[in-house]
Structure 1
Amino acid sequence: MLILLLAAMGLLALLSWWPNWWVGQVMARHAQPADRYPFSGGDLARYLLDRRGLSDVTVEATKEGDHYDPHARSVRLSPANFSGRSLTAITVAAHEVGHALQHAEGDPAFARRQEMVERSAWAQRVAGWILVAIPAVTLIEKQPAPALVMLVVGVLTMAVPLVAQLSNLPIELDASFKRALPMLEECGWLGKAEKKPARQILRAAAFTYVAQALSSVLNVVKWLRGLRM
């Protein structure tokens, strides 16, 4: 039984590692040459937003990873993509602008995604408190029943972020292929040889959430394994 559990954990670890590795490889591969375009990812994001009447949406560099913040109404890019002039930089910038367009258009799927993301953050904090409290409750009550109830609640609460991350995938694919790619093509910034790698970058940007979802599954399994020990 122990061998099967360890094998399952090893498989989950591999599954959670591989998408992150693949995303990183795709992004790094097309970050060269670094001066492919005469404008940076930040410049492109600003241009695309202004062209669509979203001059109130800011474009900022951040160390927290590429994302669109709907509360601040800001497209935030990593330093490499904000200042970079590579295919990766402009493609990722267009992808994040795609999210800004979803928000501006009142896309109901985008609104549901934001609500779920906020709820999942709250649920994850609650899960952490519950799972940390389990050993103390077991010791105080001197019986497993309350701890088992807390364990079930904690695991279910930790599953909420997993559902939220998987539900992000359609929104990410929409931002990539129905918004970012057409914007890049209509402006003539993708040559024939660049269309395929651009699609690879956009697919990688979308599937980042799949990697995060697999990591969430692995975290739950680690918690369960730790509690058994």
Structure 2
Amino acid sequence: MGLLIVGFVLLFIITTLPQLWSRHILNKYRVPHSDIPGTGLQFGAHLIKKFGLHGVRLEETNQGDHYDPIEKVVRISQANAHSNSLTAITTVAHEIGHALQDQQHYPPLKQRTLLVERAAIMQKFAGVALMVTPILIPLLHTPMIGLVTFAAGFIAMGVPVIIHLNTLPVEFDASFNRALPLLKEGNYLDAKDQKTAKRILLACALTYVAASLSSLFNLWKWLKALKR
């Protein structure tokens, strides 16, 4: 029992603290920056033109910053779209990093996109199966119902783990192999601000690590419950 409590405490620390730290870092550097001449949207448009990202569009959104590889859209949150803060500029550089991955046919991004598309279908199947099987169990006395229930549960708990683990290399590459070199080689930030940008990207990267660990823990709890 004591070991289980320690495990929950460690999980809380590993999964919650990175999110709190990321939120703190992003808010800390969300203030206007006197040496940055343009907003997040303007910077994004400049980078799209500079790197020849033909077919890639920019959109302002209230759904959070992200790149949509299916629609070929870099979506920038309202907080970053009209700001010239370090948080805004670094975030846009990261999302443009994803667009560069797409342009260069970066395999992990292609794999994650395909996985997410298939996962949506699989999750629907799992949801329907988990709702229907309790009704079918008393009506159909067959081991197949149990197998369907297990498969549905595994999809519901296991697919997020696979997606999160596939997300890690994609996000780290967009941040540290593309966004940071982009900011440095383009002389968009001085040496001090480059260090801050790296800190911002690291804080965000750790939230992906925390999400992966959390999904792994949920899968472990589900598998452990099945053994009882």
Percent of paired sites with the same residue:
39
TM-score (ref. length: structure 1): 0.83
Q: Distance in 2 between matches of 1:127 and 1:44?
A: 42
TM-score (ref. length: structure 2): 0.83
**1:18 — aligned with what?**
17
Match for 1:154 among 152, 155, 170? 152
* CA separation of 1:126 and 1:154: change in aligned 2, threshold 3 A: same
* CA separation of 1:159 and 1:55: change in aligned 2, threshold 3 A: same
- How many pairs were matched up? 227
Amino acid at match of 1:115: L
Contact 2:26 2:87 in 1 (8 A): yes
Q: Report whether the alignment pairs 1:206 with 2:205.
A: yes
**2:193 — aligned with what?**
194
* CA separation of 1:170 and 1:91: change in aligned 2, threshold 3 A: same
Q: Report whether the alignment pairs 1:37 with 2:36.
A: yes
**1:107 — aligned with what?**
106
Q: Distance in 2 between matches of 1:227 and 1:28?
A: 42
Q: CA deviation at 1:74?
A: 0.8
Q: Distance in 2 between matches of 1:23 and 1:146?
A: 45
Q: Distance in 2 between matches of 1:35 and 1:83?
A: 14
Describe the SS at the equivalent of 1:76. Answer: strand
Describe the SS at the equivalent of 2:192. Answer: helix
Q: CA deviation at 1:9?
A: 5.1
Q: CA deviation at 1:146?
A: 4.9
Describe the SS at the equivalent of 2:15. Answer: helix
Q: Report whether the alignment pairs 1:76 with 2:83.
A: no
| Pairs within 5 Å for 1:86-105 | 86-105=85-104
Q: CA deviation at 1:73?
A: 1.0
**2:59 — aligned with what?**
60
Q: Distance in 1 between matches of 2:10 and 2:138?
A: 33
* CA separation of 1:4 and 1:133: change in aligned 2, threshold 3 A: farther
Describe the SS at the equivalent of 1:68. Answer: strand
Amino acid at match of 1:63: N
Q: Report whether the alignment pairs 1:51 with 2:63.
A: no
Q: Distance in 2 between matches of 1:148 and 1:36?
A: 63
Contact 1:9 1:221 in 2 (8 A): no
Q: Distance in 2 between matches of 1:169 and 1:88?
A: 21
5+ residue gaps, structure 1: none
Q: Distance in 2 between matches of 1:25 and 1:32?
A: 13
Q: Deviations over 1:100-150 (max 9, x none)?
A: 11111122222122112222232233232333334323343478x555423
Q: CA RMSD in A?
A: 3.0
